[in-house]
Amino acid sequence: MTNTEAKLRKPRQRLDPSDEVLIGRLAEGDQSAFNEIFDRYHRQIYNFIAKQVNDRESCEDLTQEVFMRVYKSASNFDTSKKFTSWLYKIALNEVKRHWKRTGARQTYSLNTPLSNEAGEAERADFIEDAREVPEDSTESELFSRNLRQLIDQLPDKQRTVVLLKVYQELTFEEIAEICECPLSTVLSRMRYAVDKLRRWLGVEDGQAEYGL
């Protein structure tokens, strides 16, 4: 693993028993299998949801709902599939249902292709927003807040890929399975998202525009 790779993802541990074995046991009524699954994944799922839903109470409710669904639907799980893909699909659906229910999802700038100029204007808006935070915020708190807003404003499909890749550290192949789309589509969503974040963050452009 290179240095950068180490910063971007933790090495994976082989889990014993496997998730798929555990979910099979849960389907047969083994409560302790549920506890084990919950221990393995609740932090990840909570974090995945918390990056998409701002209030803590809803995050907790939604995470709980995800695991209740796992509990109730264990016997429907197709054991030839990967458990984590199923789990993240459930989580994604819960978040979507939440947005539908509350109408809370920001629609600002969604799906608007950003020219460089528009990107500049949006960046100016974020800098404007940043002024509203408490005066004693540190620079890294400000950066974190702005970055969260930037990620929030990516189109849904691109944001999902970024969250699953960057923070959940899934492989692109796993993400393709969760999003039910070809690997090449996942890779181009990642490309578009990173290009936008790069413009917003004001990182120096590379020498080439590849127009993928």
110 binds other proteins (CB under 8 A): no
Alpha carbons 18 and 22: distance in angstroms, whole number: 6
27 binds other proteins (CB under 8 A): no
Single residue of 52, 83, 90, 165 touching other proteins by CB under 8 A: 165
Asked if 161 contacts 193 with a C-beta cutoff of 8 angstroms, the reply is yes
* Minimum CB distance to other proteins, residue 138 (Å): 12
67 binds other proteins (CB under 8 A): yes
Rounded to 5 degrees, what angle do the CA atoms 87, 90, 95 make? 125
Single residue of 21, 27, 36, 38 touching other proteins by CB under 8 A: 38
Asked if 165 contacts 190 with a C-beta cutoff of 8 angstroms, the reply is yes
Cα distances (Å, whole numbers) of residue 129 to 74, 132, 146, 186: 44, 6, 8, 31
Single residue of 104, 110, 133, 203 touching other proteins by CB under 8 A: 203
Alpha carbons 48 and 163: distance in angstroms, whole number: 7
Provide the binding-site residues for other proteins, judged by CB under 8 A. 1-2, 4-5, 7-9, 31, 34-35, 38-39, 42-43, 46-47, 50-51, 56, 59-60, 63-64, 67-68, 71-72, 140, 143-144, 147-148, 151, 162, 165-167, 171-173, 184, 187, 190-191, 194, 197-198, 201, 203-204, 206-208, 210, 212
